[in-house]
Amino acid sequence: MVEEDEYRATYHSLNDRRCIFEKTILSYRSGCSQSSHFFLADREGIRCNSPEYRQHCATFLPHLRQKARFALNLSETNDTLPYTQEIRIQTGGMLGLQRIANHDDTEPDHADDISTLISDGLKKYADINNFPFQEIIQSIAKFKGRKKRQRR
């Protein structure tokens, strides 16, 4: 446990602007032009290069979590969700926003640029509260993570 505590302390000292959508970027299901990858020991991290865009993401993700509660059968959406739920919210939410931005009924398999999707959404809808969350939540509900491997 001491090594893990040391790792976290070093991680936070190197990455003072952790990407809000780090999980979906690390799963290679989303990208972001405002992020950069770094490696620490044998692990990978994502840093946000823009305080402005990071604030957009930091405002958007809690709204997404709150709106996704019913679709994911969650009674509360505190800051710490199990990994599988968080990846569904982050990835499914970004795929839903990508689908809306593309004006397409088919579900994309990758969200090209998180910062652009949220920024364009803010230009179009003026406020995060006005985003079409009902449509975005459909993508979260449909999203399936990686299938479990069969042990042999």
Asked if 93 and 143 touch (Cβ cutoff 8 Å), the reply is: no
Residue with tokens 């230009």: 123
**104 CB-near residues (< 8 Å, 6+ apart):** none
Least confident of 63-67, 76-80, 84-88, 97-101: 76-80
For the stretch 112-124, pLDDT in tens is 999 999 999 999 9
Asked if 96 and 137 count as a contact pair (C-beta separation under 8 A), the reply is yes
Write down the pLDDT at residue 43. Answer: 82
Model confidence pLDDT, tens digit, residues 53-70? 999 999 999 999 999 988
Question: How many residues are listed for the chain in this entry?
Answer: 152
Backbone angles phi, psi at 74, to 5 degrees: -105, 135
Q: What is the pTM of this model?
A: 0.86
- Average pLDDT score over residue span 2-9: 75
